[in-house]
Amino acid sequence: MADPMISIDSLTVQYGDHRVLDGVSLDVQPGEVMALLGGSGSGKTTMLRHIIGLERPTSGTVRIRGVDINRCSPKELKDIRCTMGVAFQECALFNSMSIEENVSLPLRELTTLADPVIEIMTYMKLVAVGLGQAAKQMPQELSGGMKKRAAVARATALDPEILVFDEPSAGLDPIVAAGLDEVILALKRAFHMTILVVTHELASAFRVADRLAMLYKGSLIAVDSKDAFQKSTHLRIRQFLDRVPDPIAESTAVRDRFLELAGMAGGRK
């Protein structure tokens, strides 16, 4: 097996007394699409922020193409970031720039290409996500789905080896979300990119991913193929797949709070 493109080893993240990630280990192989699943507050976004080097972990390592991004030199980190594209949940398009300027920004800043070449490449990236006609528009003039696609176009501007998506389908209707899934698959097919999709949208995850990983309360409880995942008998995975709600009213914390409010403090510690 080839060396993993992304290798996370014993990643632990703790804020004060709250442990968000607890010794998470995960490898993503070159050309693989990995979907990182998990409920709200499970630590998905925290894990993503550590993978793209926006935060430093309490302990553990994140290696991209074998380089530890928390212990490498600024030059190495810059080189790694040039091979990564990130499409944020909020799209993070620069509102003062047109869509075309947003997409061409990494090309203008990080390459020495001539302006006509940059214009052609930008147009190609926009056409690839179906936004050829929206090049001159400002981000605030676009719909949610178009913004997401513009963010994907910008993330792919430098033809990265690794593409990371944070909740690509969040807030989109099923048709637009399906369209975005097709864009992800097309990118994988055309450029053989390694893609990490952080999501809680099951349909999207099963459509695009080769393997799935599931986070629960800061720990990875499964990393498996789609088939194995669907057949899993793990309680939490089944609950997630079968959309079974947590029994909130029966939780210990809620019961203790009710007892406290009723003046019967000292229920359970």
Partner 1 sequence: MNVLEATGDAAIRGLGYIGGLTIQFWSGLCASPRVLPIIGKHGRWRAAVRQMAVIGVDALPMVGIMSVCAGFILAMQTGAELRRFGALQYVMDVIAVGFTRELGPLLTAFVVGGRSGSAFSAEIGTMVVTSEIDALRTMALDPIEFVLAPKYLATMITVPCLTIMSNAFGILAGAGFMYISTKITPAMYLRYIFNSMELRDVVTGMLKSLVFAAIIVNVGCLEGFRTRGGPDAVGRSATSAVVWSTFLVILADVFFTAIFYLLHQV
Report the distance separating Cα 165 and Cα 183, nearest Å: 12
Among the listed residues 13, 35, 37, 84, the single contact to partner 1 using CB under 8 A: 84
CB closer to partner 1 out of 52 and 180: 52
Burial track 140-179 (b if 16+ CB lie within 10 A, e otherwise)? eebeebbbbbbbbbbbbbbebbbbbbbbbbbebeeebbeb
Asked whether position 200 contacts partner 1 by CB under 8 A, the answer is no
SS (H, E, C) 104-155: HHHHHHHCCCCHHHHHHHHHHHHHHCCCHHHCCCCHHHCCHHHHHHHHHHHH
Among the listed residues 13, 24, 88, 134, the single contact to partner 1 using CB under 8 A: 88
Give min distance, CB of 248 to partner 1, in A.
25
Report the distance separating Cα 168 and Cα 149, nearest Å: 9
Binding mask 94-123 for partner 1 (x = CB under 8 A): xx---------xx-xxx-------------
Among the listed residues 20, 28, 35, 86, the single contact to partner 1 using CB under 8 A: 86
Residues 20-49 contacting partner 1, CB under 8 A:
49
CB closer to partner 1 out of 107 and 187: 107
The region of 51-59, 179-187, 208-216, 248-256 touching partner 1 under the rule CB under 8 A is: 51-59
Among the listed residues 44, 81, 148, 149, the single contact to partner 1 using CB under 8 A: 81
Report the distance separating Cα 206 and Cα 33, nearest Å: 11
Contact between residue 8 and residue 19 where contact means Cβ atoms under 8 Å apart: no
Binding residues for partner 1, rule: CB under 8 A, are 49, 52-54, 77-78, 81-82, 84, 86, 88-90, 92-95, 105-106, 108-110
